[in-house]
Chain A
């Protein structure tokens, strides 16, 4: 986006966000999603690929980064998506988003379909349509081995701490039984880690997760029997009957020709309810769960730290570097927005006429006083309701920029305040206009005062940029959480990601210090008599 476009967008956004004015007129200004029903499959065919939404942070065996080669996404749903795309005559392209926001992103047009353990449930149908189920997962209860007081029935969950995923059937079941439900947004690993160290008393989750994260932990025990069944379906855009029919047809065909059976067997996920659901051929009796075996081999027993450093981490460097680059680029652009807008706000607040001052103060208080996440959500998911659909990248830059503009405005206001009134007087008596005096006398001095806090803000912005992962951007933090979940390694990879963040921020911290030292001497005021 050109600087001009950005400026125009910003100007348009400002009153919009501050006053919430209707912005139908803006529709022409940007790419728009038509309000009429979509045909995602037709779009995908035109494009040659179908964009399927998922969250690789959710982990095995659904969609995750291959612990042996994290540059590749694997999982039974990766295989399923590929088979489905094949039947539809297109390639499959996975697109990342936060798991509990996938259907909203689908509605917004960021994906053509969602495939990521989406359970068939009434409330989901308000946001998206669901295909016929492609898998049925049993609910399994996991407890600590040797815990005599462990709950082993649904009824026994009453009053106990139960870990599970938010918005899942398991969560609803646990709540209905009166359990104290703890839900996790991060990786599945955390859920079982908390059980092992006693933060929860049991974990109720779908069989695939239990198999890949609970059952491989020798300190845990999976209680026999099923505690309910959840069916997974493909999310398709609401009202998109063509896509729904095409996806249903493809699933039917995959069930009949045995593709799904073979696929589930490979991942060790074949079960009776799914057999009943698909009604097609069983997997061959010779089938081995090779994918599951590979997972166990890769992460079942954690490698010693040094082996991880030498054997596993080198393959992650490229991913981390890509995430770091995205974080950096988004932060730099957002900072450019923040500095420009912040300067305008500070000038309006200090030198502007009264109404402009009030507007500036209102803006600053509004954006300082509300969470960045709320602002980002409004820009990304809220503005499309007004007909303005921004790309994730632009939305991220704008939301961060708008938010930090408030902080920068306060920096520059303090900077302007530090310039003695006599300086402006001196400039005026030399014949400089107010504007020229500002530009040549007040601003250069104000900027010197404001520069160190601005550099600090940039470092803070660099860290806050991790929020853009909620709008499908895989930046540095998201790269870490996904990898940590896929490789079951939070501590070691945490050190790696910390190094990357330090690598990004240290140069700016140094810059800030040296600027402070260099300018410090010149900003000192001449001793007044």
Chain B
């Protein structure tokens, strides 16, 4: 599904300036968009509004042709807009496999066997099927991240959002992220990646948006925008 954000405004209660001040962006179906910008620019806020975690105060968000205005509650479309958190937020009381099957079973009422088979496929695709029975605390940062991605993908989202997916990883693993994004993109999922990592943005994305003070300051293909910024 494509995403179209128009004049998005978000004010955090008590904050002097709005975190998002009339932001516009458009990401076509199946594309990978990187969102850059310095700390406090409003990147996390944007993802939280897009994923339906936080309400917003003005403008519209259009997801695959369905438009939401201020105050509308779209939830997360029942898991169809996934979000990979910067801190992953894996469920510590559940095994890796159960992390990936909880939502399909609870939200969609999928049978355990089917949910587990799909989850195992996803874990295998991400190269961590051997960790299926492990608990999150026993995973490395990179493994946690891939579990978080598998967990989101298990809901077969049309849109997947990432908040600084590379911040917990060493340089060798950063290339892995790029590869993962490409692989997911191959299944037609639209992806928006918030990152500080210019090489990843250049390598992995089709589109780059640079945020500043809650607005898009620049956007375009990575080679143009990142060359400009650098």
Contact = CB atoms under 8 A, between A and B. Distances in A.
Contacts of A423: 89, 91
B87 to A, nearest CB: 4
A522 B93 contact: yes
Most chain B beta-carbon contacts within 10 A, residue among A422, A440, A444, A445: A440
B136 interface: yes
Interface in B95-154: 102-103, 106-107, 135-137, 139, 141, 144, 151-152
A294 interface: no
A286 to B, nearest CB: 81
Identify which of A420, A427, A431 gathers the most chain B CB atoms within 10 Å of its CB: A431
B82 interface: yes
Contacts of B144: 526
A443 to B, nearest CB: 10
Given A528-B87, A529-B86, A529-B167, A429 B53 contact: yes
Contacts of A522: 92-93, 135, 137
Nearest to A426: B89
B81 interface: yes
A423 B75 CA distance: 16
Nearest to A421: B89
Contacts of A436: 106-107
Given A526-B88, A528-B87, A430 B135 contact: no
Interface string B55-82: 0000000000000000000011111111
A430 B53 contact: no
A431 B79 CA distance: 4
Given A526-B144, A529-B141, A431 B93 contact: no
A461 B4 CA distance: 59
A290 interface: no
B5 to A, nearest CB: 18
B226 interface: no
Contact of A526 (B53, B83, B137): B137
B18 interface: no
A521 interface: yes
Majority SS at the chain A contact face: helix
B107 A445 contact: no
Name which of B81, B90, B137 has the most chain A CB atoms within 10 A of its CB: B137
A429 B137 contact: no
Interface string A500-524: 0000000000000000000001111
B107 A525 contact: no
B168 A430 contact: no
A425 B161 CA distance: 14
A523 B94 CA distance: 10
B168 A529 contact: yes
Contact of A524 (B92, B106, B141): B92
A448 interface: yes
- By secondary structure, the B interface counts as loop
A105 B205 CA distance: 81
B75 A431 contact: yes
Given A429-B51, A432-B107, A441 B78 contact: no
Nearest to B93: A444
Nearest to B47: A429
Interface string A431-469: 110001000110011001000000000000000000000
B219 interface: no
A419 to B, nearest CB: 10
A5 interface: no
Contacts of A354: none
Interface string A154-182: 00000000000000000000000000000
Nearest to A436: B106
B155 interface: yes
A451 B139 CA distance: 26
Kindly name the residue among A425, A426, A430, A527 whose own CB sees the greatest number of chain B CB atoms within 10 A: A430
A151 B5 CA distance: 97
A429 B87 contact: no
A420 B88 CA distance: 12
A294 B103 CA distance: 76
Given A422-B85, A526-B87, A429 B92 contact: no
A431 B167 CA distance: 26
B115 to A, nearest CB: 13
A430 B86 contact: no
Contacts of B86: 529
A124 interface: no
A429 B78 CA distance: 8
B83 A429 contact: yes
A430 B107 contact: yes
Nearest to B53: A425
Contact of B85 (A426, A431, A441, A524): A426
B178 interface: no
A445 B78 CA distance: 23
B107 A428 contact: no
Contact of A428 (B53, B91, B151, B167): B53
B22 interface: no
Contacts of A445: 91-93
A486 B194 CA distance: 80
B91 A426 contact: yes
A529 B137 CA distance: 14
A440 B85 contact: no
Contacts of A440: 102, 106
Contact of A425 (B85, B107, B136, B151): B85
A422 B53 CA distance: 11
A430 B102 contact: yes
B53 A432 contact: no
A423 B88 CA distance: 9
A524 B103 CA distance: 22
Nearest to A521: B137
Contact of B103 (A432, A444, A525, A526): A432
B28 interface: no
Closest 8 CB pairs of A and B: A431-B79, A426-B89, A529-B168, A430-B103, A528-B87, A431-B78, A431-B107, A429-B83
Interface of B: 51-53, 75-83, 85-93, 102-103, 106-107, 135-137, 139, 141, 144, 151-152, 155, 164, 167-168
24 contacts: A422-B89, A425-B53, A425-B83, A426-B83, A426-B85, A428-B52, A428-B53, A428-B76, A429-B52, A429-B53, A429-B76, A429-B81, A429-B82, A430-B79, A430-B107, A431-B75, A432-B107, A441-B91, A445-B93, A522-B93, A523-B92, A524-B137, A526-B90, A526-B144
